Amino acid sequence: MSGFDLSGLTASFGGERVIGPLSLKVNDGEQVALVGKSGAGKSTLIRLVHEHVGRESSLVPQELGLVNALPVFHNVFMGQLDRHPTWYNTLSLIRPFSADRSSIKALLKALGMPEKLWTPTASLSGGQRQRVAIARAIYRNAGLLLADEPVSALDGPLAHLVMNELKKRFATSVIALHDVDLALKYCNRIIGIQDGQVALDEHSERLTSADIMALY
């Protein structure tokens, strides 16, 4: 099961309510774009959903959560840390298994950076770091993707490449996006967040970018 049905979601910061209370139901096969202006509560909502569904999801947080001291391979491999016994993970730090090496290299190739497998993560550009976090989420291979602005540091062609890859690999997803055209092209349901509440919820083929821009 990759869908979820959550109600009574709320979040407050410094005594100020930033989300909810709201309900969010996502069915299997729905690829949801969360849209709305900066500060509307999209990131908070993704974090709340992740707290509820946890291990059942692949997460791309906005701050990425990469370990700078490790090469790209190990950052991507972390997507499956909890799927292996400790001895396997320890050995992978020293001498990774060839099956993991080749599947992670193939993933990086699909995201346009196969030559970065052993590059120290600290030396990557912002867009490359974003793709490492995306590769880690794909490698986790959970049924549900939760992603917070996963292509914000990527230029046009690369953003399309990555969004296409995510659409292909995750039948069910919730992705916060600031680019309205990407949301309409790669997601089949649009949820607009305004002041911590759902202000729009519609199938993407029934919407134009002008309909969504009203939220901004």
> What CATH architecture is 4-213?
3-Layer(aba) Sandwich (3.40)
Q: What is the CA radius of gyration of the chain?
A: 18
Query: Quick one: pLDDT at residue 216?
Result: 85
pLDDT tens figures, 85-104: 999 999 998 999 999 999 99
Is the CB of residue 202 less than 8 Å from the CB of residue 169?
A: no
Every domain of the chain and the residues it spans:
4-213
Q: How far is CA 55 from the centre of its chain?
A: 14
Helix, strand, coil % (nearest 5) of the chain? 45, 25, 30
pTM of the model: 0.94
pLDDT tens figures, 6-47: 999 999 888 888 888 999 999 999 999 999 998 888 999 999
pLDDT tens figures, 39-72: 888 999 999 999 999 889 999 999 999 999 999 9
Burial class of residue 108, CB neighbours in 10 A (0-12, 13-18, 19+): buried
